[in-house]
Each structure stands twice: as C-alpha cells, then as structure tokens.
Amino acid sequence: MNFGNKLQFYLNGTSVEIDNPDPNATLLNYVRSIGLTGTKTGCEEGGCGACTIMISSYDKKSDKISHISANACLTPLCSVDGKHVITIEGIGNVKNPHPIQERIASLHGSQCGFCTPGFVMSLYSLLRNNLNPSEEEVEECFDGCGKADCCKLNNVDTNFDHNFSQIKFKKYDATQELIFPPALMKYEPEPLHFYSNKTKWFRPIDLNQLLSLKAEYPNAILVSGNTRISIEKKSKNLKHEILIYLGDIPELKSWEFNDDGLYLSANMSISQAQKVLKEACHHYKPHQIQTFEVLLENLKRFATNQIRQVSTLGGNVIANLSDSDLIPFLLSSKSIFSLTSLQSASPKSRPIPSISFWTGYKQDCRESSEILEKIFIPCSKQGQYIRTYKQSKRHYGDTAIVNAALSVSLDDNACVEDAAFAFGGMNEAVIRAPKSENFISGKKWGDEDVLKQLIEILCEEFQLSFSFAGGMATYRKSLVVGFMNKFWYDVTKFANIGPISSDIENCIGEIKRNVSKGIQTIGRPEKGNKIVGKPISHVSSMSHNTGEATYIDDIPKIQGELYGALVVSEKAHAKILNIDPTQALSTPGVKGFFSAKDVPGKNNWGIIIQDEEIFASKEVFCVGQVIGLIVAETKEIAQEAKSLVKIEYEELPHILTIEEAIEQNSFFPMPQQLERGDIEKGFQEADYVFEGETRAGGQEHFYMETNVSLVIPKKENDEFEIFSSTQNVTSTQNKVAESLGIPANKVVGRVKRVGGAFGGKETKSLFLAMALAVGAWHLKKPIRCMLNREEDMIITGQRHPVLARWKIGLTKDGKITSLDIKFYANAGWSMDISIIAVQACIQSADAFRGFGRPQGVLIIESILSEVADHMRIDEKNIYMEGQITPYNQTVKDWYLPLVYQQVKETSEFEKRRKEVDEFNSKNKWRKRGLSLMPIQFGVSFGIQFLNQAGALVHIYIDGSVLISHGGVEIGQGLNTKMLQIASEALDLSNIVVFPKKIVHLMETATNIVINASPTAASVSSDLNGHAVYNACKILAERLKPYREKMPNKSFQEIVDAAYHDRVNLSANGFYKTPDIGYDDKKNEGLLFPYYTTGAACTEVEIDTLTGDHTILRTDLCMDIGKSLNYGIDVGQIEGGFVQGVGWCTCEETLHFPNGQLDIPQDFRIYTYEGAKVSNLNSIHGSKGIGEPPLLLGCTVFFAIRDAIKAARKCNNNDTVVVLRSPATPERIRIACDDEIVRNCKVEKKDGELPW
C-alpha cells in the first residue's frame, strides 16, 4: 500500500499544505499557532465549546456538502485532510461582521467574551445546514457551549430604549458565505501516513485498506471522533503508538433498511444516526418504529451538540463504559453487531448478538484483526414495548448516574413473552437483570402484586456496597426501582391493559422542558443624562464576537519565549524528603527546574498572613500545592517533563472535612464573633427552642479562561513586565516584586481583559505570576503559562463549604428571642481570604462572587424555613426603615418591602400557591414547589482602605480621549460604564450616541494608575466611576472657558485652542468612599454605604422517583438605583442568578479519601423604578449589581424544598425537611424519604469507607 505524507485542506478559504504533521497535534494547537486565536482554549475535553469551529466535507457519491460544528481541542489536525475548516476569523471581522456576530454583539450577547466565538460558530454551523431553524434547534445547538448556563448568553428585550429597539441589522444572505472550495471537490484522497518519534498515524480510504492495516497492526487504536482517546491521553497520560483514522472510509458511512430492521455503520456519528433514525420512522410501519423513536429520544441527551457531530456509534460500543447512553439500548433491543476482518484478501463478517459481545470490563469478543463494522437494530414487533431512562446531575450534557433500557413483549393476554432489562451505572459495565427477566416471563403485566414482587427481586439483584465506585449506592438502587415503576405504568397505559390512577398517569415520562423564554422590564436613564443609563452594548462586544478580542494567551509569542509547567503535590499532607529533577532536565528542550531554593526574594506570601509559599519547601498540605516549575521550549515539552520530576514524600495524617477538623481541633487563629444581647436570657424567654445543622456546599469558579500569565524580564535594571489574567493587578505587581527581592517600581502589571473570574482571580492568580517570575529571573527569558482545566481546578481554591450548628429560641407568635450559630468554614490549608475557619488538607478556599453572603443567606433561610415548618408559620418579616442591622447600622433609603411586594404581585404568588397545591394533590410522583424570598446586599469592601480608586484621563490634540483606571474588565462591563461616565462628564454626547472612537480605554496597568484595589465586592463601578468622573470634571472645568468663548466649535477645535493656551489636558482623579469605617471588635462604624436589594419568586417541578427537577418560572426584581447601563446590568442579574442556581442545586465538590444547569423555562426580570437616589453617594445614583442577584438563586433551592415537603405529605410523612446544599438529584430523591428509598437503603458496614 502506497501512502502519501502531505496533509491538504482549506482554512477560511485558503489552501493549506503541511508535510508530515504531528499525529498528536490538535486542530486547536494548529490554528492558534498561526495566529487564529479567536478559537479559545477552555477545557481541552470538548465540554465548554469555546474552541468550536466548523468543518465542511464534500461527498462525491451524493454530490452534497455537509457542515458540522466540532471542538477544535479534540479534532486531530491529521483528520482534516480534504476538508474545509472555518474558524471565527473566517466569517467576519469588526469592520465587516457576519450577521450573527452583529446581532449577538448588539443585543448584549457577550460578557467576558471568552466563549462567545464558540456560541457564534455553533449558530453559524446550524445556519449553514438549516436556513430556517426552529427555536428548539437554536437552543439545542448551544448545548455544547458549556458556559451558557453560567455566564448566560443574554437575550435582551427591546423594551430597553426606543433608539435600540429600532436597530437595523444586516440581512442574512446565504449566497455571501464562504463557498466550499472547488479544488477540494475535485480532490482525490489517497492513503496517508504521518509519524513522529512517538506516534504513527494512518488514514485508509477504503475498507480493505483498513482491514489490512488492522491485520498488520492488531494493537492499533482506531480513531474517528477522538472524543474518548484525546481525553484519555490527557487525563491518564496514555500514549498510543499506532492510530488508524476511520473518518474517510465511504463503506463506514452507510446504512441500509431491510424488512427486519436497520443496519447502521459503526463509524456513523451520533448526529448522522439521528438523521437516519428519523428517516426510518417514516420508512417503516407504525408498529415497527418504536425502537427507532426510543433511540432518537435517547440520543437527544447524548453528550453535547459538538460531540454528537463526531462521536460514533462504534466508539461508544467499544469503549464499554458503565454509564454509556447507548449500550443499555443495544442490549434491551437485542441488536446485532457485525465483526469484520480480512480473510483471503476479502472482508469477511460474522454476526454477534449484543448480549454476547462484551466479555468483561472494557473487554469484548473481537479478535485482534477484527473491527466492528455494522450495528443491526431490529424493528419493534407487535406487542413489544421499549423505553430508555437516564438520570444525571444535569439534565443535558452530563454522564449518567444510572441509565436503563427496558423492553417487554406481551401476548394478547398481556402476559410477558420476553423481557430485557439493561442498566448502566450499577456495575463496572452495563448489565442485564436476568433474575428479574426470568421472574417476569409468563407473568401478567399490569398486576400490582406482580410489580411488587418484581421490585423486590430487582432490589435483591443489585446488591451495592456503601463504598460502590461512584458513590450514591442508595440513590442508584432507588433509581432502578423508579425507572421500573415508570416503565410498568407506561406500558400498562400504552398497551391499554387497564386503567391507571390519574395521579400516576402524568408522572411516568420525563419532566418536560420547554424552550426558554424571558421578559426584561427595566428603567430608563435618569432625566438629564444623555449617555449614562443607556443600554449601550459592551464596548468590546463586536471584537468578542469576531474573535479579535485579545486575552493573555492570545498575545503573540515573543522572541526567545519559553513555557512553564507547574510541578504539584500528589499528596494531601506530607513531608518533602527529596526533589529530583534529573530526568526532566535531561529531556531535550527543557531549560530549567526551579523550586523554593531558587527564589531570589521571599518564598513566603499570603493575603492575611504570610502562610503560603510560592514553592513548597519542606511540607505539602494538599494535593495541587505547587512544588516547582519546569521551563521548556514548548508547552508540550514542559508538560511532559513535569511528570518526570521525582518527589520523595513521607506521608502525614490529613484532614479533609469540617467534621474531621472540629474533632481534631484544627482551627485557624482569629475567629470572628458577633454578639448582641444576652443569648442565654433569650433562650429562657423562648416558648420553643430548636437545634440543628445546616450546610452550604463549595463551588468551583469555572471561569472560561483559566489562570494564565506571561512574565517578561527586561534587559536592564531588573525590570519586569507581567501580563496576568487577574482581578488584582496591584497585588500581582507587589507580590512579584517581593518574590524577586526588588522594589515594586521595577515591576509593571498589565491586563486588558479577563475571560471571567468570579472572585477566583483576586488572590489565586498571583501564585502563577510569582512562579514564572522566578524562572524568568534566572533564565532572563520571557515565560508563559496557561493552566489547563485540571491544573486550574486542583491548584486554585473554591467557594468555602460551610457547616452551621445552630440553636434558636422563639415565642409562640414566632418572634425570635435568641439565635446562636457557629459557622465553620472549610478554608483549606491556608488562610487566604476566609467565622471559625477550620484547617484541612485541601486547596485553600478563595473569594467567590458573593464572598460569604450566599452561604449566610442559605443557612439563615434554611433555619427559618425549618422553624416555620415546626411552628406552621409562613409569612416572614423584612427589615423596616430605621431598624438596626447586626452591624449596628441603621436601615435608610429602604425599598425592599416595596420590591418584595412588587414581585409578589407580578408573580401572582397567591394564585400560583393555590395552583401548586392543587397540582401536588393530583400527581403522585411529580411535585411542584414555590419560593418567594427577598435579599439585601451591603456593597463595599469590608476593609476600609480598599474603598479607594484612581483614574488618569488624557485629552489629545485631535480631541480624542484616553481613559485609564484601576479596575479590571472581567466581563461585567466595567470599561463600558467608565466610557459612558467619561462621555457624560465631558459632554461628548452631541458628537455621536456613544463616542467609542472619541473616548478610548486601553488597559489596566500599574505604571499608569497606581495602588488599585482588587476588582471585587461589586464596588468597582462606584469606586472607579467616581475617580473617572472626578478626573473628567477637572478637565471639563479647564475647557469651560473655551466652550463659552467658542459655543459653535467642535470639541477638537476647543481642545486645540486650550492646548495652544498651554492648558494641562491631563487630569488625575481620585475617590474614596466617604464616612465608612467599621470596627468589627467594637461592632461600630459604617460598614456599607448602601444596600442593593431584590426579591425573587421561583416555581420548580421535581420528579420524586428520580430527583430530577426543572425551573418552571422565575420572577426577579432588583433595586439597582439608576443603572449606568441597563443592558449590561440585566446580563449581570441573569448570570448571577443562574450561577447561584448552579451553586445550590448541581455544583458539588467531591474529594477522594486520598485528597484528589438548567435555566428557568420562563425568566422574568424587572428593575424597581420607584426608588429615590438623591441620598446615594454612588456614581450617578447607581448600585453595585455583580454579586447580589446570585443570592436569589437560593429561591430555587427553597422551591425544591417546598416540593419535597409536598412529596412527604403525600406519603403521610410530616417530618421537617432538612435539605443539604447543593440540592442534587440524589439529595432531592433521598429527601423525599418514601418507601422506595427506605427499602433501597444501603447501610455502611464496619470499616467501610465512602467512595
């Protein structure tokens, strides 16, 4: 066989030829290496969609061009031969955007913008295939954009402003799209062979060639979508010597209808299979298509849109994962596999029933030279009924906890002729339930006694241990029973066997999720403001959408630049006995290894106390603690070499949980305490006293752009330039200077924008810059490092998990006489920014959006909810004007009662409360819950000195204005608001609606605005806005005489005249929040200059058999004063709320013993417009909005709790619900505490550890 050695494809309409490309290179690596940096690195596992591109192919046989959206991080570069790859840069730019880019940019569709190109390319691919997609198809195309449920792709309503509701968009013209290159339509593919010193890649172009290669290389790995192999290479460091690519073999893309069923090529992608299955549903008779309909429905929840486009049927069969979405169906439908090999120079196939194919965990019956060529799916027969079920932590884009495919065939008397029950997630592989199948054979379907016996046998058949791999043993067993209950009644109904109770009939399917919709009803700019308050789109929104927005890792490589990789601890707690980098240093391309002994300045650092080290010197306290830095010529070399550093440990006892820390008295010093009144006297006066525990879980920040830094040493005077993705550029400057032993005036910190932060880049971003600076100091070379997702998650901190142990006393009428709460926060191994902080051997917890307030709200509302249930009290009191907060602060300018009442009315709370109760009375396994909750959020830094900001504003001779301030653009629209404030203050509104070309903002840099506070605490618009305003007012005052003398002249002419009069056209602005200064020891002084308040009403529906839930509707109102930009603030409200929902429902942090989302279907946003802002010291009467809405995500948690109460009531269980956060499906299901859960309970045996 003759092989070619040249890769040929087109990229954005341009021909590309590469001689012998690296078989391990991804398309993402390649496009970024040639400067196409709009395609982002987010997770490198195909989960976030930030790297989405479009790949177009031409099929000569059908004469059709197909387009798929794919994850560039998973797509092998070698796989695109003969194809046309289109990246975000290929469809438009800022000067000439594509209509999709234009619309998303103009309608507030981006925040930090890092993942926006992924959204654009997902929608672009859909439109290239379908010019008139439905709303469902549009929503589905975004399911592979992982941050859609966290940052929120905002859909802004046209209620904002008349000027913006009349936007004239480009008309979409499909004829103007990049055509498929004619040269590629004539391209004749040839077998290809690429190789490196590690891997060989073969690309056969027909079945015979493939089988010949498989015979020659029996241990070769077959590659198609690369969705599993790529992740295994990364997470398990697997190295494959021989790869054979299947994607260009015509015989493996076929399908065939015959009388008995459907043949599908094993190499067919999931999305291709969906299309064929739809066709099959029209081809066969109605009674024959049930298997195809069921598989179609099942595949909707298979992974994500981008993965479905490339992942293959055969790949899933061969992977043999226990949580496979496909294998249970193949087993229960009794599908047949065709195994093919080359015999006597011809392909020979043998059929294997699916039940006989798998021989053990990740083992099957294929001979070494055989491939899985086809899958036969039989038509359903008369009397056959098949259904599939899946339960995961998130409804879409998540792996199954348990899934099932259940099938029965009934005779005319409803007796079972045949049964096949297959379950995933109940063993190390998908398994059938033979005892249950044998029992039900011959039994009459619909007989309740038979069902009870079947359930008992199922429970006996799945004997899980408490330490079952993956955990959740009780929940898993209850799901098996739940699925069988659903199946039993579904078949009974579908087969017309007998009447079904009305309270069961509507509960047997999945919870229905409609296409999301929303309403935004917001205010108008304050009278007199011409620019401030207008919903102007994010100043960088167009560059976000075109991929031209530059983030740290997009900065072009500098001459001589090296790459750094961090060597981290693999132990939870241990002494470091020896570090041996010898093998790593001998690797070609490695330039150095640096550890604690190499730090020229201070190795110790910290925010509160100096209890952390840049590089661990003698002892490690958690998995992921940094020990050293490998520096090499490339990222690939550095990543490989870091695993070669040998570290010898002496393991020490470790603490992971709050309970372990309390038991072993492992606390940090300086616990905070807040006391008012005589607690014991209050308990004596109480009629009732209740005690309990409440927990709030942790949360991973999961910003789209991981931590990244570029450190550049200068040639003289020990000067350094630091580009870092950080919220805290001043601390970056100072800590790098300390680590190098040089003054801060020799270090310049820079950042233009950050791809999301949420508090996680306030302190934890500093360590990377310091580590790289040490390497750069010694090597005198620039060093860059962008952490991969796994590294970022184990090295940085998360939101603090909190345990509250409480005791509360109340009078008969519900008045609280005494409340004693001990809050225990798991701070990890160091103080960082952390109530009583327990010390544990996990990564140090960090600031996170809300910073303690979400945990506080969840805990106190949980306490009050439990007490209200004990005492049968529903109504809650709210602060009134003039009352005193726990910080001895008098409540002023208080509109929360009115906000609360507005939500109560607009949500029709009283009416819907009755409707929810009625629904619950009519549905056995579906319950709805309703929650109405207010919040107040004090806005300021708790530390007085941080409440300051500076700005520098220049006016150039041509009339253009340059603004610099100390805040960082992290996606919250800070720079846009600063430009609006400056334009208003300089009275530039008469030039254009928003003079982006006149007023400009470049970056945040420590040599321009010094000593800046972190961008955090929802105060950045206030602090920096005032500083910018003050600077502009100084300049406006200087220009005032010229404006008076030259009333009809342009701004440029006025500036020119002032310049020639030698007027200073540069001004420094400074602001410090007046009057604040709280003393926590004396509990006196002003802590918050104002409160941002809000309220929300949320309705949910839960499935009590699975713990699944959906948010039916949320009504949310915020008092945000007079917004600086209503469009941006609505995005912050939506995103904050949904991030709060994730925290309290599905984002669960798990630690191994050794140390290692859905959005509302109907989302209605309102801003309260009745507030008077004259007393606010905030800029233009606005209020901080970044964090407060997150707290209202708790309404989902309490609505779920309300639904669980209804479920218990249905089962005559009136015990008080104690629900732990996050309210995962497991916790929801177990909390329903019904007979099924009790019968499925898996008890812990002596000495048995949880998974």
Q: Which residues are annotated as a binding site for Mo-molybdopterin?
A: 727, 758, 849, 1017
- Where do we find the tokens 């790869």? 243
Q: Residue 995 and residue 160: Cα distance in Å, rounded?
A: 20
CA distances from 545 to 37, 512, 1152 (A): 12, 32, 40
- Where do we find the tokens 């469809």? 91
Element (H, E) at 1166: strand 1162-1167
β partners of residue 749:
722
960 CA to centre of own chain: 39
Write the CB contacts of 210 (distance below 8 Å, at least 6 apart in sequence). Answer: 204, 244, 246, 249, 252, 371
| Binding-site residues from annotation for [2Fe-2S] cluster | 43, 48, 51, 73, 112, 115, 145
**Catalytic: 1148?**
no
The upper half-sphere exposure of residue 528, i.e. CA atoms within 13 Å in the direction of its Cβ, equals 3
Q: Residue 1191 and residue 1090: Cα distance in Å, rounded?
A: 17
What the block records as the tokens of 85 is: 């790859």
β partners of residue 1032:
none
Q: Residue 404 and residue 426: Cα distance in Å, rounded?
A: 10
Write the CB contacts of 428 (distance below 8 Å, at least 6 apart in sequence). Answer: 322, 361, 469
Q: Residue 432 and residue 422: Cα distance in Å, rounded?
A: 4
What are the φ and ψ backbone dihedral angles of 578, each rounded to 5 degrees? Answer: -160, 145
Residue 1236 contacts residue 478 (beta carbons within 8 Å): yes
CA distances from 731 to 613, 755, 783, 849, 891 (A): 15, 19, 20, 19, 34
| Binding-site residues from annotation | 43, 48, 51, 73, 112, 115, 145, 222-229, 302, 325, 372, 390, 727, 758, 762, 849, 851, 1017
Q: Residue 1015 and residue 1031: Cα distance in Å, rounded?
A: 20
711 CA to centre of own chain: 28
Q: Residue 412 and residue 172: Cα distance in Å, rounded?
A: 57
From the list 102, 613, 1099, 1187, the catalytic residue is 1187
Element (H, E) at 660: helix 658-663
Q: Residue 1101 and residue 177: Cα distance in Å, rounded?
A: 44
Pairing mode of beta strands 221-223, 64-71: unpaired
- Where do we find the tokens 């509160």? 608
Q: Residue 112 and residue 549: Cα distance in Å, rounded?
A: 10
| Binding-site residues from annotation for substrate | 762, 851
- Amino acid at residue number 724: S
DSSP 44-73: SSSSS-TTEEEEEEEETTTTEEEEEEEETT
Quick one: angle between helices 99-106 and 116-129, nearest 10? 140
Residue 250: other Cβ atoms inside 10 A: 13
Instruction: DSSP letter for 332, please.
Output: H
Instruction: DSSP letter for 1181, please.
Output: G
Q: Residue 115 and residue 544: Cα distance in Å, rounded?
A: 8
Residue 1159 contacts residue 515 (beta carbons within 8 Å): no
Q: Residue 407 and residue 291: Cα distance in Å, rounded?
A: 10
Residue 856: other Cβ atoms inside 10 A: 17
SS3 1201: helix
Residue 597: other Cβ atoms inside 10 A: 10
Active-site residue set: 1187
